[in-house]
Amino acid sequence: MTKSAERYWQAGALLLGVLAVAFTLDTWLSAARHRDILAAKEEAGQKVAAYAGRWAREDAYRDSLERQQAWHPVELDDLATRLLGLHTVQITPRPATAVAAGWQRREVAIQMNNVTYAEAALFLADAAAGLPPWRLQDLTLAPAAEAGKGNLAAVLVALEKKQP
């Protein structure tokens, strides 16, 4: 082998050695960044798994309502008339929103003026006792001039199965 060919081989070996050192340094220096990226991906995967589990409970609840054929919550107008008399409760429906597989979320605003706290509690308890239940989302109480009475403003929400 000639001296010039030997020098080419030595230069090639040196170049390969330098490249190996450079790649090793790059890998070593970027290891912390890659470790952080992998940790972030692991955390994101755990969050996704937690959200997936959350939907399982809601799906099971809707399946339970389906089995019981509990598609509509208690009619609040009828409940108010039966418990409190005519025109004592002002019920204002809000637009329903679709939630899943034919189910919608109904929301109503309720205003009761000069009602006893016991009557208001009975109304809310009976609304929550039906299937599907009305759930209390917001409640504001203000005392009335007469002791034991007050004004109630509430927002109730319930699931309802849309029927064709």
136's CB contacts (< 8 A; 6+ apart) are 124, 128, 154, 155, 156
Q: How far apart are CA 48 and CA 51, in angstroms?
A: 5
Overall domain count for the chain: 2
Q: Where does 2-148 show beta strands of DSSP type E?
A: 89-100, 103-116, 135-143
Q: Please report the pLDDT score of residue 164 as a whole number.
A: 53
* 55 & 88 share domain: no
For CA atoms 45, 51, 57, 63, the dihedral sign is negative
The more confidently predicted of residues 30 and 164 is 30
| 143-163: pLDDT as tens digits | 988 888 999 999 999 999 887
Q: How far apart are CA 73 and CA 132, in angstroms?
A: 5
Share of the chain above pLDDT 70, in %: 97
Whether 134 and 157 have beta carbons less than 8 Å apart is answered as yes
Mean pLDDT of the chain: 88
| 98-131: pLDDT as tens digits | 888 888 999 999 999 988 899 999 999 999 998 8
User: Structural domain of residue 4, as residue ranges?
Assistant: 1-67
The more confidently predicted of residues 18 and 86 is 18
Mean pLDDT on 66-83: 88
* 58 & 106 share domain: no
* 29 & 101 share domain: no
Inform me whether the pLDDT recorded for 136 exceeds 90.
yes
* 84 & 157 share domain: yes
Tokens 């929400």 belong to residue: 157
Q: How long is the chain?
A: 164
* Cα 99–chain centre separation: 11
Q: 110: domain CATH number?
A: 3.30.70.60
* 38 & 115 share domain: no
* 83 & 53 share domain: no
* 98 & 146 share domain: yes
